[in-house]
Structure 1
Amino acid sequence: MRFGVCCGLNDEERVKIAAECGYDYIECGFQMFAGATEEQLCEWEEREKKYGIYCESTNCFLPNSHKVTGENVDYDKIREFVARGMKNSARMGVKTVVFGSSGARNIPEGFSFARAVSQMAYFLREIASPEAAKYGITVVTEPLQKAETNMINTVKEGVMLAVLAGKENVKGLADLFHMAQCGDTADDIRFLSGSIHHAHISNPVGKDGRKRIYPASADEYDYKSFIEALRLGGCERCSIEADVQDFATDAKKAIEVLRSL
């Protein structure tokens, strides 16, 4: 399994630190790539080459303005945004795009749940999947805690949505923080063996008002069961996604923890 850390290619210092710490890749924001200029893309390509670390996955897929559920879904606008973002992401070396985007997928009050699920599946099947497939990219459905979204909260629900999309390049994701908030365990990952393509990890207990933090020691939380279940199921990558206080210190400790598991 490859281990990465969330940081933007626009932050050269963090990219440098991630490379020096020994991370396999970084995870950046899809929206940043979708809105990038040619000058920025060239700069980021050179940065990847300079430090020998590449963006293999993205998060922050759709902005809140690009709703995929509700009465007024603008599929033309969404398709144009996704097409541009996929093209630029592929240029940076992206292999996996994470679809969390709670603001874009939340079901409007009074709107049909069944219809919203159908809309989500349509978006994945007819827009996200084909645009990603042009570049060999896989899209993964991210379950989020109930405080963030009113649909797709558990790992099983995320995988069911991926299955409903019916595309080979649409898979599931497991995020340890959201799993802890929703009552999911490593057993759920094992049950879904082969369906989890990407993962996010953090210490979901948090500290000093921060909801999720970088892993600091192997015995502070049961990370091992999570990682072992992912490995058994063939998950390709796991990124640290958490609140950070001192990136250089936190990133170094975290990768040491992950490598020890």
Structure 2
Amino acid sequence: MILSVSNIAWLPEERLGAYDLMEEAGLSGLEIAPAIFFAGAADPFVPDDAIADAALAEIRARGFSLVSMQALLFGVQGAALFGDAAARAAFERGMTRAIDLAGRFGIPNIVFGSPGQRRIPDDMAPGDALDQAAETFRRLGDRAAASGTVIAVESNPPAYGTNFLNTLEDAEAFVELVSHPAVAVILDLGAMHMNGSFGTVAERAAALAPRLSHVHVSEPNLAPAPDDATDLAPVLAGLRAGGYGRAVSIEMKRHEGGLATVRDRIAALVRAAEGEGR
């Protein structure tokens, strides 16, 4: 598996220090929110060649690869998966621009979270919502396949403001309904914690592994992660036993501790990957 970190853990001006920490720890993957990675661009989803080349040169010099992208609908106004025709069109345009960016830079995975843009209205039947969303994601899956990427469907607990695909089981069932090779499931450990189901992950990990396109090592509300390497170690061992070879990425908001916190959490991830505890 590829150990990685999402760049939402630091400010754009802290990136070189963060890259140094990743390199020192032996990590090789970087997950990006485009607005942070291409911070100088007028539109981070369409960065000009000079800005893109500079950002990529910084990570290539350290041997990193881009493993995933998140914050796909950043800056998109009025987008809603279950809105009126204009809102649905804005949603699909926003997702398409993210898919195209992934294709441009060879990013193999993009994470569909966006809880605020996927809330089912009170007057829509859940079954109708599933069918409408599946139709949309089949079209997006075609675009993703042509771009060489996979859309990872993330479960978001109700506390994040959505009522659609709240659990891992919901996300698995939706991906099965969509039935598209470029639409897969992400295992988000923070969601598992919030849903009270983290205790089941280690025993399920090997069976889940073949169906996953990405893993987020996260905590509730994107607190510093992983909190406990001892708890994470059997999860990573199970994924490895199931043949999972894609990215395992720390996902955490920037903490007031700055890069010192990033250093500590990277060390915890490495210990967990090595089967060790705190």
TM-score range (shorter-chain normalised) is 0.7 to 0.9
What residue number does 2:45 align with?
34
Gap change, CA 1:83 and 1:72, over 3 Å in 2? closer
Match of 2:250 among 231, 237, 240: 240
1:197 matched to 2:213: yes
> In the alignment, residue 51 of structure 2 is paired with which amino acid?
Q
Q: Distance in 2 between matches of 1:246 and 1:146?
A: 29
1:45 matched to 2:56: yes
How far residue 250 of structure 1 moved from its aligned partner, in angstroms, is 2.5
> Which one is further off, 191-200 or 210-219?
210-219
What residue number does 1:108 align with?
121
How far residue 217 of structure 1 moved from its aligned partner, in angstroms, is 5.1
What root-mean-square deviation, in Å, do the aligned CA atoms of Structure 1 and Structure 2 show?
2.6
- Cα displacement string for residues 151-198 of structure 1 (whole angstroms, at most 9, x for unaligned residues): 111111111111111111211111111111113221444554521221
Question: What number of residue pairs does the alignment pair up?
Answer: 253
Q: Distance in 2 between matches of 1:211 and 1:82?
A: 23
Is the 2:102–2:147 contact (alpha carbons within 8 Å) kept by the matching residues of 1? no
- Cα displacement string for residues 120-152 of structure 1 (whole angstroms, at most 9, x for unaligned residues): 21221112x122112321111100112112111
Gap change, CA 1:75 and 1:144, over 3 Å in 2? closer
Name the one with the larger helix percent: 2
Is the 1:55–1:94 contact (alpha carbons within 8 Å) kept by the matching residues of 2? yes
1:224 matched to 2:256: no
Is the 2:175–2:183 contact (alpha carbons within 8 Å) kept by the matching residues of 1? yes
Q: When the two structures are superposed, what TM-score results if normalisation uses the length of structure 2?
A: 0.79
Percent identity over paired residues: 23
- Cα displacement string for residues 55-87 of structure 1 (whole angstroms, at most 9, x for unaligned residues): 210111224632111333545444443333223
Gap change, CA 1:251 and 1:191, over 3 Å in 2? closer
> In the alignment, residue 43 of structure 1 is paired with which amino acid?
A
Match of 2:139 among 126, 129, 147: 126
How far residue 94 of structure 1 moved from its aligned partner, in angstroms, is 1.0
Gap change, CA 1:3 and 1:113, over 3 Å in 2? same
Is the 1:2–1:238 contact (alpha carbons within 8 Å) kept by the matching residues of 2? yes
Gap change, CA 1:217 and 1:176, over 3 Å in 2? closer
- Cα displacement string for residues 22-63 of structure 1 (whole angstroms, at most 9, x for unaligned residues): 212111115664253333222212222222212210111224
Gap change, CA 1:227 and 1:166, over 3 Å in 2? same
Q: Distance in 1 between matches of 2:215 and 2:194?
A: 16
Q: When the two structures are superposed, what TM-score results if normalisation uses the length of structure 1?
A: 0.84
Unaligned regions of 5+ residues in structure 2, if any?
Answer: 39-43
Match of 1:55 among 60, 66, 71: 66
What residue number does 1:24 align with?
28
What residue number does 2:41 align with?
none
